[in-house]
Every structure is written in C-alpha cells, then in structure tokens.
Structure 1
Amino acid sequence: MKQSLDQREHDQRSPLSAFSDNAVRRTDNTHQDPDYRQAFCVDADRILNSLAYTRYIDKTQVFSLIKNDHLSHRVLHVQLVSRIARTIGRYLGLNEDLIEAVSMGHDIGHPPFGHDGERILSQLTQKHGAGFFHHNVQSIQFLENIERHGRGWNLTLQTLDGILCHNGEVHFRQIKPLRNKSFADFDTTLEWMKKTEKPDQMPMTSEGCVVRMADTIAYIGRDFEDAIRLGLITREDLPSICASTLGNSNGTIVYTLVTDLIANSMGTPHVGFSEKIFEALLAFKTFNYDRIYKNPLIKSHLNAVETIYHHLFEKLLKDLDDDNQKSSIYSRFLKGVSREYREKHTHAEIVRDFLSGMTDSFFLNQVPPSMRPCHMEMPLHV
C-alpha cells in the first residue's frame, strides 16, 4: 500500500514536488519500525502529538490580554496557514502532507506574547551569551532537542527545513526553493541564524515556499478583521489600492491572493504573485504595521510583560546557578529531560527553552499578581 502511494505521487504530482520516498531523517529506523504511513504524513502526526503543539492554544497571535473570545490566537493562525497552503499545493501538484507538517510546526517556537515576547527574549539571550532568539530556530530546538525528554521527533530534513526557513515578515514577489540541501547544510544554517540578527534563507522545497507565502496570506486579512472588531480601525480606513485590488474583507483578500499565487506559480519553478497584487499586498502590510501592530492602544501591557521577562530570566538563571531544586525550572522543565540535554546546553540556553515554551497564562502565573498586567476591556464590533 505504501509503495503504491509513493508510486502514485511520481505518476500524478508535479516534478517540482517533494516525493515521500525521497524523505531523509537523521536516524533511519524504518527497517526497525515499519509504518504504512508515508514519511511526511508521519511528520505531521508527530508534530500534532507534540507537547509544544498543544501549547499553541494559549499563545498570542497579535492581540493579547484583551477580553474578546473572537480574536485570533496562534493555534487558529497555524490551522489557517495549513488550509491555505494545502489548497495552493493541491493546484500546483505538490505534496500536501509535507505542507501540512511544515504549517503545523512553523510557529511552535513562539514565546509568550508573540513577536513582542520574541524581541524581549532575544535581548536577554544576547545579554547572557546565548545568541539571538528567533522563533523559527526555537521551533527546531523543541522538535529536535526537547520533545520526548530530549530525544526529539526525528522529523525529516524537508519538514525541518520548511519550518526553519519560513519567514512571514520578509516579503518577496517570487521565491524559488534552494534545493539539494543536506543535514550538514541545515545544521550550518541553524548555527548561522543563532548568530545573526535578521537571518533569512529560502526553503529547500516548493512546499516550504508555499507555506512561507501562505503564512502572510493567513494573517494579513485576519489581523485586519480583528482590528476592526476591536474598534482600532474601520473598514473604510483601508487604502484604496488594497481595497480595489485585494478586497476589504478577509475572505475576499485570501481568495484573491490565493488565486493570484496559483495562477502565477503554475508551471513555473517559482512561487509568487503578479506585480499588481504584490504591490497591493505590500501596501496592506504597511497599513497593518502603522495602524495595528504599532498601535499604542494594544501595547499598554508591554512594560509589565518586559519586566516579567527580565525578572524571570534572572531568577531562573540564578536558580540554576545555585542548584535550587525547588525552582519551577527543575520541577516543570528539567525533570525527566535527558542528561545529554543538560550537558549540551548552558544555563542561559536552558532558561531560554523553558521561557519560550510557556503559554501566556503560565508565564504570568510565575510572578505575584501585583506584577501582572491587567486584561483590557475593549468594545466588540461585529
């Protein structure tokens, strides 16, 4: 059955697809553990069953500490990326299992309070000699070195590369995969990213490129709708180039972007948009940054969050230095983790891993109530 499915891929999919029988793992134990599932399907199942995936449920996407049950959280964003990317992949003849695996794992390394938390944590890791903090690098850290008591999930190179090389913050009109990478290349890139402030590299597969584009498609219109719901902007505020070209509702925006991406990528070695659509997308991104992501109305809690990050990092670091076995970093993180993990990581890196894996609520509960920011009450606009 598995051989039949592998052969069907070669018969029916694009030659640019990543074929399941070409998947590569660090440890090839298929002869010991025969499995009827194809390689990238196994990856998707392993990520779905990881502890880090479970914690998506309480991770900030954009808006945090706002009492509104209809706002996007990280788990919904990941599901939207997967749905959008699989639709694109289906029309381009690509491997949907690989697309799903990369989509589900791409944000696992996000720390509490989203990109703001990422920025704060990176300052702390640099200060303590642990390099720059990037959530995509941390996703690999969880999946390879922390999950399963330090044994990791033994995911394929293609999946790990797609996760590492996704970058929804950097935009190109067209991208092409950087094919024929090895695990040695992957490890070199991983170490380079830890030492680089704004690293970026193209994925090795067309599937990874599709997920990278779908990441932007998934959040650009959804964040717009959330901001309208909170009364930060109105639909009429959207620049005319965006509204007339992409639409002014999330459904229309997603449909327009996906349709254009498929039409301009089909039968070509790249994945990309038409020039007109891409210009409108860049204008939309600028609008979102200026009017939503940098809006002071939703940043009032940041000083408190930053104070907590600094407090916890220094406290946990001291607990490790003092071998304080009563500390939560021992009882809630290091307990059960392999000796190999402890030997390979500095105290600052261990604190980084513990903090970045916390959900928003667990993070806040590590400090007294007097240190925690209050939830904001904002009007519901339907």
Structure 2
Amino acid sequence: MAVSGARPMAAFASDATQTRGRLFPEADMPPRSAFRRDCDRIIHSTAFRRLKHKTQVFVFNEGDHFRTRLTHTLEVVQVARSIARALGLDEDLAEALALAHDLGHPPFAHAGERALDACLKDYGGFDHNAQSLRVVTRIERRYAEFDGLNLTWETLEGIAKHNGPLTDRQGHGIGRYAAGLPHAIKAHSGLQDLELWTHAGPEAQVAAIADDIAYDVHDLDDGLRARLFAVDDLKDLPLVGAALAEVRARYRGLDVPRTVNEVMRRLITRLIEDVVAETARRAAESGVASAGAVRALGRPLVGFSDRVRAQEAAIKGFLFPHMYRHPRVVRIMEEAQGVLRDLFARFTAQPWDMPPSWQEDLDFSDAPRLARRVADYIGGMTDRYALDQHARFFDLTPDLR
C-alpha cells in the first residue's frame, strides 16, 4: 500500500504523484498535491462563486433556507470526502470532482438546461456535464498563460465521465450520447484524450454517487420545508420510513423539525455505509490494484448494494412526482425556461447587447459560434442576473415564486 501521511491508501486509489499531468505543464508546488491545487483553483473560480445564486430546485426568492447549487455542492463534497476517506482513496481528488460537478449548470436548474438545449438543438445542444468541462478548460480566464484552470487529467476525466463511459472503443457515442457527443466534449477531445470509452477513476465514481446521496436527502428535506409533502407521506418509503420509525420510537413527542433532521442524518449515514461496504466488497472480488485497473474493469467499482440500490431508486421515484413534477415547481420552471429562451433570442439577434468581453473575436455572421457564445454567457448567469437582464430588454418579467 502507498501511504499518504499517516493514512493508508488503497491500492486502487489515484496517486497525485503519478498524475498524467496538465495540458499546459506546470511545476509542482509542495506541500500542496496536484489534486489539492485543483480543489483550490475551483474554489477561487468565478463559476464556483456564482453557484450561490443558482437554483437547485427552488429559486432564490422562495426562501433563504432552501438549497442552492453552492450549498448542494458543499454537501456533495462532505459526502464524497467521507466515502473516499473510508475507502482509502485520494480525498483531494474526490473533493475537486465534487466541487466541479455542477459548474456548468445554467440558471434555474434542469429547467434552464432544457431551455438552452432546445435553443442549441441545431448546434450540438447543451449538456451541463459537458459545460462543466468547458467552464474549467475554456471559459474561466484567470491565468496569463492559458484559458481555463489547467486542471489535472484525472480531474478533467472525472468531470467528463463520472457517470460512466461516453463512447465505445471506436469513439461512437453510447447511451444518452448515442446521437452524438456534446460540443464541449468533442472540442476538448481534439486537444486531450480523456479515454471516453472507459469508466472514470475511483474518486470520480465516489463524487458521482455522493451527488446522488446528497440530493436524495436534501431534496426530501427541502420538499418537506416547502410543504410539497408531509412527514407521514414518507412512512412507507424504503430506508426513509425505517429511519422515521426509529426516530419516533426513540424520541417520543419530538417536534417535526428535529424529527426531520434526525431522519435525514440517519439516511445519509446508511447510504454512505452501504456504498463503503459494497465498494470494498467489489474491490476485493475484482482484485483491482490501481486506478487504471478500476477504469479498465468494464463496470462501476463504486456503488450501492442491490438491496439499497432499489431502495434509493424508490426515493427518486417518490421525489419525481411529489417534488420535481409538483404543479408549483413545474409552473415556476416553465416561466424560468421562457426567460432563458427570450434572452437567447435577444442576444443571438442583437449580440452587441452582451457585455463587450463576450463580443471579443466574435464574427456575428458565424451562427454556430454565436449561438455557443450566447449559451456560454447565459449559462454562466445566476438566477438573479438572468431576471435582471430579462427585465432590461422585455416589458414583462415573471415573478418566480
């Protein structure tokens, strides 16, 4: 086993001293590892700061206690680091991937993504995972010698394919990308081979499942806070119902807010414990002895047990109709999509209405490039800024609440 400080590392952990490097070579800067530097660069980026005013499910003016993209991201970081520590993986790389996973989200959550994807249907579409890669490789401009953040290969690989392979070995898109790869992925693949046909390294897989755990739990919490459903509606939900029964049996008469908090923390703990146990079992069974072996395994190493995977799927199955498709949420998000469609139409017709920095080196007659530039501009907006810009150019701007 390799050793980092006093903590033993798993044989299949990524090794920061053996990184495949950066697109633009840079000298090491001890005592920070290459992956720690990736974390720091993401934290200091403009895109990361803007997450605090981007919708998770509820828009900013519905209340200060609902999650935003930033608070969601921080919760994903906490879960990812917990799992990585328990498995002996590189915590800094897991953190970097958790920090970066939503940088490409436009305003108004998945509704905003759907709106921009429709606007770009003739130009390769819009995919928030691909846009995260575009943000850290092109859009961020903080350094004198390169665009982007010049993150390590392992971090870029994890951003691009933390949910699994994007292509077959011949480079043909698979799954949701069977019709073609997103523009940002294709553009970067011409500069750097991220081996899109393999699974990502173990830390990227940890970040992906940490995302699932975090939003399963905090969406239940936010849905209860918003009164889209009640605590008793969870009694028959696998995992959640058991935790609720346990809390009520142990703390009779406990008020609802504390009951909910006790249930949610138990739920997070049990999901994390299952991932750790199942991943350790898979690692022992497969005999993987390096991060490269994890990529080449042909199936995910990190995951839930069969029993808990079905229970976790039931949570998502509950949230879809009771929260994501709740009439109140749907109405607001439909109005939000209209805001982004209006902005896209305005800026493609009158690109000089964008700030001067977004017009640099842009040929207004080059429709594909113009559409992509407008999408980059809108995609980086916060909810508030998108509404402010809409009010600037249009007579009627919806009050999203």
> Which bin holds the TM-score, normalised by the shorter protein?
0.7 to 0.9
**1-side partners of 2:132 and 2:117: how far apart?**
15
User: Does the 8 Å CA contact 1:136/1:166 hold for their aligned counterparts?
Assistant: no
Matched to 1:358, the amino acid is M
Listed as ranges, the gaps of 5+ residues in structure 1 are 1-5, 168-176, 377-382
Aligned to 2:388: 365
Q: Does 1:314 align with 2:337?
A: no
Residue in 1 that maps onto 2:317? 286
Paired position in structure 2 for 1:356: 379
TM-score by length of 2: 0.77
How far apart in 1 are the matches of 2:37 and 2:227? Answer: 43
8 Å contact from structure 2 (residues 237, 315) kept in 1: no
Q: Which residue of 2 aligns with 1:102?
A: 97
**1:169-318 equivalence runs, <5 A:** 192-194=180-182, 203-238=199-234, 239-245=236-242, 247=244, 249-269=263-283, 270-318=301-349
Alpha carbons of 1:343 and 1:89: their partners in 2 closer, same or farther (altered >3 Å)? farther
Whole-angstrom distance in 2 between the partners of 1:134 and 1:57: 20
The answer to whether the 8 A contact 2:138-2:147 is kept is yes
- 1:144 aligns with 137
Distance 1:246 1:23 in 2: 42
Percent of residue pairs bearing the same amino acid type: 30
Change (3 A) 1:136 1:9: farther
- Distance (Å, rounded) in 1 between the aligned partners of 2:198 and 2:118: 25
2:14 aligned residue (6, 18, 21): 18
Distance in structure 1 (CA, Å) of the matches to 2:42 and 2:3: 25
Residues 35/240 of structure 1: CA separation in 2 closer, same or farther (3 Å cut): closer
Q: Deviations over 1:247-266 (max 9, x none)?
A: 57221111110111111112
CA spacing shift, 1:9–1:205, aligned 2, 3 Å: farther
Deviation at 1:278?
1.4
Q: CA deviation at 1:357?
A: 0.4
**For the structure 1 residues 11 and 70, does the alpha-carbon distance in structure 2 shift closer, same or farther, using more than 3 Å as the test?**
closer
Specify the alignment match of 1:174 in structure 2. Answer: none
Q: C-alpha separation between the residues in 1 aligned to 2:91 and 2:359? A: 36
Does residue 158 (structure 1) correspond to residue 154 (structure 2)? The answer is: yes
> What SS does structure 1 have at the residue aligned with 2:150?
coil
Quote the RMSD (CA, aligned, Å): 3.4
Secondary structure of residue in 1 paired with 2:389: coil
Paired letter, 2:377: F
Q: Return closer, same or farther for 1:328/1:100 CA change in 2, 3 Å cut-off.
A: same
The AA in structure 2 aligned to 1:135 is H
In 2 relative to 1, CA 13–367 (structure 1 residues): closer, same or farther, beyond 3 Å? Answer: same
- Separation in 2, partners of 1:63, 1:148: 30
Check 1:61–1:256 CA distance in 2 against 1; reply closer, same or farther (3 A cut): same
Cα deviation for residue 51 of structure 1 reads 0.7
Letter in 2 for 1:213: I
Distance 1:240 1:265 in 2: 25
**Separation of aligned partners in 1, 2:206 and 2:198:** 11
Q: Secondary structure at the match of 1:365?
A: helix
Q: Hey, what does 1:8 align to over in structure 2? A: 4
Looking at structure 2, the residues matched to 221 and 92 of structure 1 have their Cα atoms a distance apart, in angstroms, of 22
SS at match of 2:282: coil
